[in-house]
Amino acid sequence: MIASLVALALQTAATSNSAPAPTPAGEEPVAPYAESDANAGAAPFRGDAMWRAFGAAAGVHAIVDDLVARNTADPRITDIFRNRDLVRLRRTLFEQFCYILNGGCHYSGQTMAQSHKDMGIQQADMAALVENLQAAMRGQHVPMAAQNRLLAKLAPMHRPIVAR
């Protein structure tokens, strides 16, 4: 019994003192930060209805890919995305949406304030991004009620993102 407790304590200590996770393939390294699902900016929905409404993993991946493509092509906001790590952006957006939609994912990205620091994002930029997200969700035939529920979860995130 004592040997089991010691082994568990050593395993826990080794896990908490382990080196940061390696940078995923194709992504640029970032400075270390505290990873937490709380960094996603919103609590997840209950149940799996929202996850299903968004088409599960395949649907959310398609929405994220479409959203990133729209944002990088949109002349109103394309400069925000220039010289950014779009591989990391796609991965962390998928994780964020998956976590919030209760798809069983963990969010490994930074807080909204950290990830948007010094980007100079204005309210008009956020409006353009939301329009692009709505178009991406429509493209995947997400029901309007489900779109509105997700947008309501995301809306408070403008506070730490928009520059004053």
Could you read off the pLDDT of 84-97 as tens digits, one per residue? 889 999 999 999 99
**CATH number assigned to the domain comprising residue 134:** 1.10.490.10
Task: List, as residue ranges, the binding site for heme.
Answer: 116
59, part of any domain: yes
- For 21, counting Cβ atoms within 10 Å of its Cβ (0-12 exposed, 13-18 middle, 19+ buried), the class is exposed
Residues 6+ apart with CB under 8 A from 98: 51, 57, 60, 104, 105
The mean pLDDT of 143-151, rounded to a whole number, is 98
Query: pTM of the full predicted structure?
Result: 0.82
Tell me whether residue 10 is in a domain.
no
Average pLDDT over residues 7-25: 46
80: in domain: yes
- Residue 150 resides in a domain: yes
Does residue 20 form part of some domain? Answer: no
**Residue 22 covered by a domain:** no
CA distances, 31 to each of 21, 34, 38, 114, 163 (Å): 12, 10, 19, 11, 22
Domain count, the chain: 1
Binding site members: 116
- Structural domain including 129 reads 34-161
Q: Is 27 part of a structural domain of the chain? A: no
